Amino acid sequence: MSAETTQELVERILAEERPPTGDVGHDEMTASGASYRQIDHWTRIGYLEPIPGTAGTGHRRRWPRTERAVADLMYRLCCAGIPPAVAHQVARAGGDCELAPGIRVTITDP
């Protein structure tokens, strides 16, 4: 089984058959391996952005499809030992981010 590159992962997620509204729920968000509670936590602290009006007590959250790619990258980075705050920053930057002068995190494909 070949390793999937970061760009291939993002393209595959975005190309998957979309629901009529173009959004995803918790089941699809947790497909990367992150737990329901992890996705919820990342959403509550602002790392993931749900569709406005779908968050809150008694309402099921929905996310734009692009948030699935962010969640997947965040999960991979956290599994590699990167703190969630840094993983969020790198995932939002598409896998290439300068964290400070001279300190760059780049996701390279195996």
Q: Domain segments of the chain: what residues?
A: 6-15+22-106
Per CATH, the number for 6-15+22-106 is 1.10.1660.10
Q: How far, in Å, CA of 107 to CA of 7, rounded?
A: 10
Distances (CA, A) of 76 to 5, 59, 70: 12, 28, 10
Q: How far, in Å, CA of 75 to CA of 6, rounded?
A: 13
Q: Which residues contact 89 (CB under 8 A, 6 or more apart)?
A: 97, 99
pLDDT at 2: 53
| pTM of the full structure | 0.73
pLDDT at 62: 86
- pLDDT tens, 36-74? 899 989 999 999 998 887 766 667 888 888 898 899 999
For residue 83, what are its two tokens? Answer: 């703190």
